[in-house]
Amino acid sequence: MAPRWKGRAAEAKALAEPLSKIVSRLQSSLVESNCQGLLSGCSVLLAADPEQTELFNHACFGRPIITSEKDKQWFQLSLEEALYLCSVMKCIKIVGDDKCVKDEEQLWHYMTSKRACFPILFKAYSHLRMKNWVVRAGSQYGVDFVAYRHHPALVHSEYAVLVLSDEEGDRSARLRVWSDFHCTLRLCGSVAKTLLVLHVSKNGNGAMSSSSLEHYCVEERIVTRWNPEQSRENQAIVQKKLCKS
């Protein structure tokens, strides 16, 4: 499925300002300001100056929170976004209620205690982010994430992403029966998205520490509906070409 750009100039604008460059500028700005986020339940709160606010919005990290402060904009980061900025991009630090900076292992234990499936979700999130996809929550479509080629203001999301693992109990039961496939594919088709299944294999490694992620493997599978009429038509075209030649 080809990208569905929002307007004639959207694609040109995206090409002129690649997402990788925007993320790199955000990374530099956060490092220079020694930015810190605050753990708050299942999210991380972070204050940004005007320049960082623009970069956060353009890079699509977090969601802005309306407050009375005029000189700062607060953002609410998901656990996946926060750990990615902290441990992968190395551009923010995260503190707890005690105002002490948490190291990666402390963050890992905190986040895995909040969500049992966090390890495979974070592996899938970072897998897509490192490929310069914008990754947002996909609960409104019944999936784990949705992936955009660039900023959502410029292009519609292309993929509805499901994260599966044979080692995650109930989560591995999804898409095991035909009715699950049928419902999910019909839903994706109705909103013009391609179903992308990311199968995360732990390769016998647990989730005791963040270093375990280095041994995880991600397999990408694109699932589409088979259209027999289209297949017959394509076959007829091929046969005609062969006859003419």
Q: Which residues are catalytic?
A: 148, 156, 193
Residues 5 and 11: beta-carbon distance below 8 Å: yes
Helix, strand or coil for residue 72? coil
Structural tokens at position 178 = 């035909």
Structural tokens at position 90 = 């190395």
Structural tokens at position 62 = 């977090």
Q: What is the DSSP letter of 169?
A: G
- What CA–CA distance (Å, rounded) separates 196 from 223? 6
Location of structure tokens 């969500």: 115
> 160 - beta bridge partners?
146, 195
Residues 97 and 110: beta-carbon distance below 8 Å: no
CA 49 from centre of chain: 25
Q: Could you please report the per-residue DSSP string of 205-244?
A: --SSSGGGGGG-EEEEEEE----HHHHHHHHHHHHHHHHH
Which helix (H) or strand (E) segment is 75 a member of? strand 73-78
Q: Which amino acid is at 121?
A: L
Structural tokens at position 115 = 């969500």
Location of structure tokens 């900023």: 151
> 135 - beta bridge partners?
147
